[in-house]
Amino acid sequence: MEPSTRTPLDVFAKVQHHERAEQLAAAKEQDVLPYFRMLESQAGPVVEMEGRETIMLGSNNYLGLTTDERVKQAARDALEQYGTGVTGSRLLNGTTPLHVELERELSELMGTEDTIVFTTGYQSNLGAISAILEPGDTVICDSGDHASILDGCKLSGARMRPFRHNRMDKLEAMLKRAREDESPALVVVDGVFSMEGDVCDLPPIVELCQAHDARLMVDEAHGVGVLGERGAGACELFGLEDQVDLRMGTFSKSLASCGGFIAGPAEVIEFLRISSRAFIFSASAVPAATGAALGALRVMRAEGAELFAKLLDNARYLRQGFRDLGLKVVEPGTLPGGEEATTPVVPVIVGEDWQAVLLWKSLFDAGVYTNVALHPAVPPGGALLRTSLMATHEREHLDRALAVFERVVGDYPDLPRA
Ligand SMILES: Cc1ncc(COP(=O)(O)O)c(C=O)c1O
């Protein structure tokens, strides 16, 4: 047989030669890989990780409700009543009374006509955006928006016009271009940006959208259960809830479970129920997850004020502690009244990727868990150690964590300083 002259083609080639392969191998070899570390206990303020007691500063369990007895009981009750799974899509056999109650109570929280519950937060963004937009439409996103938003935009086939993070002049330019194209536009922003923890500049965004007839959607994944008196998120904090067309949230953060939702006008939500492919062609969440989300929502609505205050107080305390150590933190931005827009996400700026990984490991070895954000999650050279707070952190936990930071950062003279 003649030897083949064809160039070998293999879709798996990238598995060995992707841009991160070398770094990943080196990090694994030195046991500094900050991913897939083993959590061996419940997700509280202090956890067991890889055999050691560790202060958890890397969780989105903002209200600490994953270990709340009432929330756990709600999950158990749902499991007992509806079994381990519903094995089908919400559209067919996957809607239980729990979903109906959850959607009703979320609509009350968000002050909207209706709400649709998805199996994950990721699917909520993906499924809503890809159903609402079509080729010929324009979608305008902040460059810091979550991946689930960007993936939904790509899937929709709409023209994507990203703008520089929180830059209103750039947003305006994109809105003008959509107008020139005679293309209906949707603007999508995170209410609280997941990595940097800063809030979107909502008042001018609303104004610009109205001036250019664009619809506005806000992702409240890190806003629900955190910001506003009711905990409805950044839109509530700014007093602009009824100026925003759609609001998305997840259960995987403050609401102590897994799942997500879109809240908005009844006709749009009803349209999503029959046309969102991520909703129709994926199984409904397991009853325990839906029950836990409903349980957490009820605790939050009853006792939220105290929890939100403690959570944000903890965030202020840790941020000040980092500043006192001379570390550079991402500044949280300001509200129209001039006060600091505190969120539970307090990132320490590290700069170079490899330095962030090594610092992360030193902290982990000393009993503090943080999240590492590397490019492409952040801009190149903008690596962060993202810390996040819980309402169940006590001062003692934060003081211990700060003492560890103080000890460890001495070994990193190149760290950006305030
Ligand atoms: C801003 C934002 N939107 C959406 C999501 C997706 O939510 P989930 O992880 O619950 O699927 C996340 C979570 O990572 C997020 O941070």
CA of 132 to the centre of ligand 1 (A): 19
User: In the prediction, which pLDDT does 410 show?
Assistant: 93
User: In the prediction, which pLDDT does 272 show?
Assistant: 98
Nearest Cα to 193, choosing from 154, 228, 151, 227?
Answer: 227
CA of 364 to the centre of ligand 1 (A): 24
CA of 180 to the centre of ligand 1 (A): 33
Q: What is the CATH number of the domain that holds 336?
A: 3.90.1150.10
Residue 7: pLDDT band by 50, 70, 90 thresholds? confident
CA of 348 to the centre of ligand 1 (A): 21
- Domain limit, last residue, from 300, 320, 341: 300
Residues 207 and 323 in one domain: no
Q: Which residues pair with 385 in a beta bridge?
A: 348, 372
Q: What residue numbers bound the domain in which 219 lies?
A: 68-300
Residues 278 and 338 in one domain: no
Residues 296 and 316 in one domain: no
Instruction: Report whether residue 125 contacts ligand 1, using a CB cutoff of 6 Å.
Output: yes
Per residue in 261-292, pLDDT (tens digit) is: 999 999 999 999 999 999 999 999 999 999 99
Burial class (CB in 10 A: 0-12, 13-18, 19+), 204: middle
Number of folded domains in the chain? 2
Examine residue 369 and state whether it is found in any structural domain, yes or no. Answer: yes
Residues 135 and 264 in one domain: yes
Instruction: Report whether residue 371 contacts ligand 1, using a CB cutoff of 6 Å.
Output: no
Residues 359 and 236 in one domain: no
Neighbouring residues of 98: CB distance < 8 A, sequence distance ≥ 6: 78, 82, 287, 290, 291, 294
User: In the prediction, which pLDDT does 378 show?
Assistant: 84
Per residue in 220-241, pLDDT (tens digit) is: 999 999 999 999 999 999 999 9
Per residue in 330-375, pLDDT (tens digit) is: 988 888 888 999 999 999 999 999 999 999 999 999 999 999 999 8
Instruction: Report whether residue 190 contacts ligand 1, using a CB cutoff of 6 Å.
Output: yes
The whole-number average pLDDT for the span 298-309 is 97
User: In the prediction, which pLDDT does 19 show?
Assistant: 76
- Give the span between the Cα atoms of 26 and 282, in whole angstroms: 37
Residue 68: pLDDT band by 50, 70, 90 thresholds? very high
Nearest Cα to 120, choosing from 315, 261, 269, 286?
Answer: 261
Residues 142 and 202 in one domain: yes
Instruction: Report whether residue 68 contacts ligand 1, using a CB cutoff of 6 Å.
Output: no
Neighbouring residues of 266: CB distance < 8 A, sequence distance ≥ 6: 113, 114
- pLDDT above 70 as % of the chain: 99
Examine residue 8 and state whether it is found in any structural domain, yes or no. Answer: no
Residues 54 and 82 in one domain: no
Residues 201 and 74 in one domain: yes
Examine residue 397 and state whether it is found in any structural domain, yes or no. Answer: yes
CB–CB of 388/353 below 8 Å? Answer: no
Dihedrals phi, psi of 324, to nearest 5 degrees = -65, -25
Residues 277 and 313 in one domain: no
Q: Can you give the pTM of this predicted structure?
A: 0.96
Instruction: Of 17-21, 34-38, 122-126, give the lowest mean pLDDT range.
Output: 17-21
User: In the prediction, which pLDDT does 1 show?
Assistant: 63
- Domain limit, last residue, from 237, 269, 300: 300
Atom of ligand 1 at shortest range from CA of 252: 10
Instruction: Of 20-24, 123-127, 131-135, 406-410, give the lowest mean pLDDT range.
Output: 20-24
Q: What is the CATH number of the domain that holds 179?
A: 3.40.640.10
Examine residue 415 and state whether it is found in any structural domain, yes or no. Answer: no
- Domain limit, last residue, from 245, 265, 300: 300
Per residue in 46-57, pLDDT (tens digit) is: 999 999 999 999
Residues 231 and 294 in one domain: yes
User: In the prediction, which pLDDT does 15 show?
Assistant: 86
- The angle subtended at Cα 69 by Cα 63 and Cα 73, nearest 5°, is 115
Per residue in 122-175, pLDDT (tens digit) is: 999 999 999 999 999 999 999 999 999 999 999 999 999 999 999 999 999 999
Nearest CA to ligand 1 atom 10: 121
Nearest Cα to 303, choosing from 249, 409, 205, 231?
Answer: 231
CB–CB of 404/364 below 8 Å? Answer: no
Examine residue 2 and state whether it is found in any structural domain, yes or no. Answer: no
Examine residue 209 and state whether it is found in any structural domain, yes or no. Answer: yes
Residues 219 and 120 in one domain: yes
CA of 122 to the centre of ligand 1 (A): 6
User: In the prediction, which pLDDT does 141 show?
Assistant: 98
Examine residue 416 and state whether it is found in any structural domain, yes or no. Answer: no
Residues 197 and 125 in one domain: yes
In the 8-state DSSP scheme, what is residue 65?
G
Average pLDDT across the chain, whole number: 96
Examine residue 337 and state whether it is found in any structural domain, yes or no. Answer: yes
H or E stretch including 52? Answer: strand 52-56
Residue 377: pLDDT band by 50, 70, 90 thresholds? confident
